[in-house]
C-alpha cells in the first residue's frame, strides 16, 4: 500500500480542512483571541493528536450526500419497495436492483464502491442468498473500527458555522434566525445514562423521519428554478461527559 497521496487528493482534503477550520477561527477571533494565540492553540491541539492514537481509522468515502440519497431513495421510491411499502431486499445487478438504485439516486457514483461503504458501516447487510437488505433508514458513517472522514468534516463545519452565524447575527439581519438547543443534567448514573441514550436515540429517529418527510416534500431537486437553493436541515448529537468530580 502506498503511503503518499496524489496531489489532487491533497488539494481536496485541504479545502475540506479549511471549511472546518474557518468557522472555528472566526469564532475564536470573535472571542478576543489574537492570530498568535489561535495558532498556538492549534499547534498544542495538533501535538496532542500526534501523541494520542485514534481508536478508529479515518476513511475517505467522497461526498456523503450520495450515500444518504441512495438510502433515502431505497426507503421512498416504489420501484424499490415491497407490497408493504418497506425497502425490498435487492440483488446487486438487474432491473430495479441495487446498481440501478445507485444510478437513479446518485448518477456517476460507482455502485460497487457505494455498496462496500454502506455494508462497511452497517447500513446494509448481505443475506444468505447473496442479496442486500437495508437495515437503517438514515446513512450512518461510523463503526467500531473506523469513521468516514467527509461526514465528520460536514458535521464539524455545520456546527461551527451555525454557532458563528448566531454570534454575528444582528436584529435587522435578513437571514433566518438559526438556533442551538440542548437539554442536559449533570447528576445521572451510568445505568440511567445508558437508558437515556437508548430512549433519545429512538425518539430522535422518529423526529428526524418527520423532518426528512418535510424536506422531501419541499425539495426542488431536478426542478428548474432561478432561485438560489440552500442546504438546510437539523443535526442532533448525544452528550456523555467524563464523571463529574464533586468539590
Residue 2 pLDDT grade (very low, low, confident, very high; cuts 50, 70, 90):
very low
What pLDDT shows up at residue 110? 95
pLDDT at site 13:
62
Question: Given a cut of 50, is residue 8 above it in pLDDT?
Answer: no
Ordered alpha helix ranges (H), the chain: 7-30, 35-51, 64-76, 98-105, 111-120, 149-168, 190-218
Predicted pLDDT of residue 51:
79
The three-state secondary structure class of 43 is helix
* 224: pLDDT strictly greater than 70: no
Average pLDDT over residues 87-102: 96
> For the chain, what is the radius of gyration of the CA atoms?
21
**pLDDT tens sequence across 48-58:** 888 777 667 88
pLDDT band at 192 (very low <50, low <70, confident <90, very high): very high
- Dist. CA 153–CA 63, nearest whole Å: 10
User: May I ask the CATH class of domain 64-134?
Assistant: mainly alpha
Asked if the model's pLDDT at residue 231 lies above 50, the reply is: yes
Residues 159 and 165: beta-carbon distance below 8 Å: no
Sketch the domain layout of the chain as residue ranges: 64-134, 181-247
Q: What is the DSSP letter of 31?
A: T
Q: What is the mean pLDDT of the chain?
A: 85
Q: Is the pLDDT of residue 19 over 80?
A: no
Residue with grid cell 454502506, as numbered in its chain? 118
Look at 24 and 94; give whichever has higher pLDDT.
94
Digit-coded pLDDT (tens) for 105-134: 998 899 999 999 999 999 999 999 999 999
Q: Chain-centre distance of CA 237, in angstroms?
A: 11
Closest CA to 58 of 163, 168, 149, 187: 149
Burial class (CB in 10 A: 0-12, 13-18, 19+), 123: buried
* Rounded distance between C-alpha atoms, residue 114 and residue 69, angstroms: 11
Q: What is the pTM of this model?
A: 0.73
CB 127 within 8 A of CB 133: yes
Output the pLDDT for position 4. Answer: 40
The average pLDDT across 147-153 equals 87
Amino acid at each position: 500500500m502506498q503511503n503518499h497521496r496524489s496531489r489532487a487528493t491533497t488539494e481536496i482534503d485541504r479545502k475540506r480542512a479549511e471549511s472546518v477550520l474557518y468557522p472555528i477561527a472566526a469564532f475564536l477571533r470573535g472571542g478576543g483571541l489574537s492570530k498568535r494565540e489561535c495558532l498556538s492553540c492549534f499547534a498544542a491541539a495538533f501535538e496532542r493528536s500526534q501523541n494520542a492514537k485514534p481508536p478508529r481509522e479515518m476513511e475517505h468515502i467522497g461526498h456523503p450526500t450520495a450515500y444518504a440519497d441512495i438510502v433515502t431513495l431505497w426507503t421512498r421510491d416504489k420501484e424499490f419497495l415491497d407490497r408493504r411499502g418497506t425497502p425490498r431486499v435487492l440483488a446487486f445487478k438487474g432491473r430495479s436492483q441495487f446498481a440501478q438504485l445507485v444510478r437513479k439516486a446518485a448518477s456517476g457514483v460507482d455502485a460497487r464502491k457505494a455498496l462496500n461503504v454502506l455494508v462497511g458501516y452497517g447500513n446494509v447487510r448481505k443475506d444468505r442468498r447473496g442479496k442486500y437488505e437495508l437495515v437503517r433508514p438514515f446513512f450512518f458513517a461510523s463503526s467500531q473500527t473506523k469513521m468516514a472522514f467527509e461526514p465528520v468534516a460536514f458535521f464539524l463545519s455545520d456546527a461551527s458555522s451555525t454557532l458563528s452565524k448566531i454570534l454575528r447575527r444582528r436584529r435587522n439581519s435578513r437571514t433566518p434566525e438559526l438556533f442551538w438547543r440542548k437539554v442536559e443534567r449533570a447528576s445521572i448514573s451510568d445505568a440511567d445514562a445508558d437508558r437515556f441514550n437508548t430512549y433519545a436515540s429512538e425518539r430522535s429517529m422518529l423526529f428526524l423521519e418527520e423532518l426528512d418527510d418535510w424536506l422531501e416534500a419541499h425539495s426542488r431537486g431536478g426542478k428548474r428554478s432561478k432561485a438560489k437553493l440552500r442546504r438546510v436541515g437539523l443535526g442532533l448529537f448525544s452528550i456523555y461527559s467524563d464523571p463529574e468530580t464533586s468539590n
